[in-house]
Amino acid sequence: MAKKKLNLGMIGYGFMGRAHSNAFRKVGNFFPLEHEIVLKAACARSEDKARAFAANWGYESIETDWRKLVDRPDIDVIDIASPNDTHREIALAAAAAGKMILCEKPLGRNSAESEEMVAAVEKAGVANMVWYNYRRVPAVTMAKQLVEEGRLGRIFHYRAKFLQDWTINADLPQGGAALWRLDVNVAGSGVTGDLLAHCIDTAIWLNGPIVEVSAMTETFVKERMHNLTGKVEKVGIDDASLFLARFANGSLATFEATRYARGHKALYTLEMNGEKASVFWDLHDLHRLQYFDHADEGRLRGWKSIHITDGDQPYMKNWWVPGLQIGYEHSFVHQVADFVAGLESGQPAGPNFRDALQTDYVTDAVLASARERSWKTVKQG
């Protein structure tokens, strides 16, 4: 039986362009879907870069102007994998053109941009999704199952952190192709939008709305050479961002993100403590979930290290055999699989633009709280 085609146009060719392309190429080999994804066109401002990227990943054609790509009638889905400052404009145009949209996170550079994007896709009635990929690390997905099954009971505490150390060197410049994440105009914020946004998306998904925050941020290196101007310029992003929070369910939380935690490359950890059970997960060993169940016999209670590689664990029957771990990239494959399955079932998979907007309301509140040194109530969308 021939598969239906889903023609995809990719905008961007960096780290995320690669991660998404790999997922598009692999998903059909591992997940039985009615649709196949056709890599129709890759778009980059530089023709050379577009051509090289397309050749490497097997895109059929290239564009150097995203507006042309958006207008092509042979494209069903637009994937926005370009820097944050382009998300809004592309999404608005793609929605207007009636395309489905996959957008890298964060949605906009702030919630004002994101609100426009939500309005656009909802008005156009097009499928939309944001690449908060960590929801689909199997261990995290299983944590969600456990929460939904009521195994944790009332939640008392949530804590998450995302620690990196790659910008400690004061000689690192800001801006330009590989370093746009350090340029506030392009990125919108620093670790708040880049790293904390991941933590917040997962947290809301697992534990419900965040209602108020008290935050602090810091920029440790105040000036860096700017790659685009060649001059030493003020650094506008936050290098570290920490906040206390209260969830609607009454639980308390600490959140922290930084690029100045020596020794941690990408340590995203999350933990939930419930009345009946607790879970802990760590991106550095993403194929494990730590689980403590108070219902266990007293003297045999302990944290269980669950190696998530068995067929009865989320997504894993599609991969290898028990004991053989998958990696980071597979979370993107799962997201594509769920997106396509959602189209087929009529039950769209999340997080959609509206979900991502809610994360932006939290990051906006975090930045405002840090700026104004006071507790902020989070807008609920």
Binding to its own copies in span 147-186, by CB under 8 A: 156-157, 159, 161, 163-166, 168
Distances (CA, A) of 12 to 9, 20, 160, 238, 312: 10, 10, 29, 25, 36
**Does 329 engage in binding with its own copies (CB under 8 A)?**
yes
Stretch that binds its own copies, among 99-107, 201-209, 289-297, 334-342 (CB under 8 A): 289-297
State the minimum distance, in angstroms, from the CB of residue 298 to its own copies: 5
Stretch that binds its own copies, among 18-26, 90-98, 107-115, 334-342 (CB under 8 A): 18-26
Distances (CA, A) of 94 to 86, 126, 369: 12, 9, 34
Query: How far apart (Å, rounded) are the C-alpha atoms in residues 308 and 317?
Result: 11
Q: How many residues bind its own copies (CB under 8 A)?
A: 89
Mention every residue, 6+ apart, whose C-beta is less than 8 A from residue 77: 6, 7, 8, 9, 99, 100, 101, 102, 127
Query: How far apart (Å, rounded) are the C-alpha atoms in residues 103 and 90?
Result: 10
Identify which of residues 292 and 342 has a Cβ nearer to its own copies in the complex: 292
Query: How far apart (Å, rounded) are the C-alpha atoms in residues 211 and 253?
Result: 11
State the minimum distance, in angstroms, from the CB of residue 345 to its own copies: 21
State the minimum distance, in angstroms, from the CB of residue 115 to its own copies: 28
State the minimum distance, in angstroms, from the CB of residue 185 to its own copies: 23
Stretch that binds its own copies, among 59-67, 180-188, 211-219, 341-349 (CB under 8 A): 211-219
Query: Footprint of its own copies on residues 42-101 (CB under 8 A)?
Result: 56-57
**Does 136 engage in binding with its own copies (CB under 8 A)?**
no
**Does 215 engage in binding with its own copies (CB under 8 A)?**
yes
Neighbours of 235 (CB within 10 A): 20
Stretch that binds its own copies, among 90-98, 113-121, 227-235, 317-325 (CB under 8 A): 317-325
Could you give the string, one character per residue 238-277, with x where binding to its own copies holds by CB under 8 A and - elsewhere? --x-xxx-x---x-x-x-x-x-xxxxxxxx-----xxxxx
Query: How far apart (Å, rounded) are the C-alpha atoms in residues 142 and 138?
Result: 6
Query: How far apart (Å, rounded) are the C-alpha atoms in residues 32 and 311?
Result: 15
Binder of its own copies out of 59, 291, 339, 353 (CB under 8 A): 291
Query: How far apart (Å, rounded) are the C-alpha atoms in residues 243 and 261?
Result: 16
Neighbours of 346 (CB within 10 A): 6
Alpha-carbon torsion angle 115, 120, 125, 127, nearest 10: -70
**Does 278 engage in binding with its own copies (CB under 8 A)?**
yes
State the minimum distance, in angstroms, from the CB of residue 92 to its own copies: 30
**Does 21 engage in binding with its own copies (CB under 8 A)?**
yes
Contact present, 204 and 173 (Cβ < 8 Å)? no
**Does 35 engage in binding with its own copies (CB under 8 A)?**
no
State the minimum distance, in angstroms, from the CB of residue 229 to its own copies: 26
**Does 222 engage in binding with its own copies (CB under 8 A)?**
no
Beta bridge partners, 295, equal none
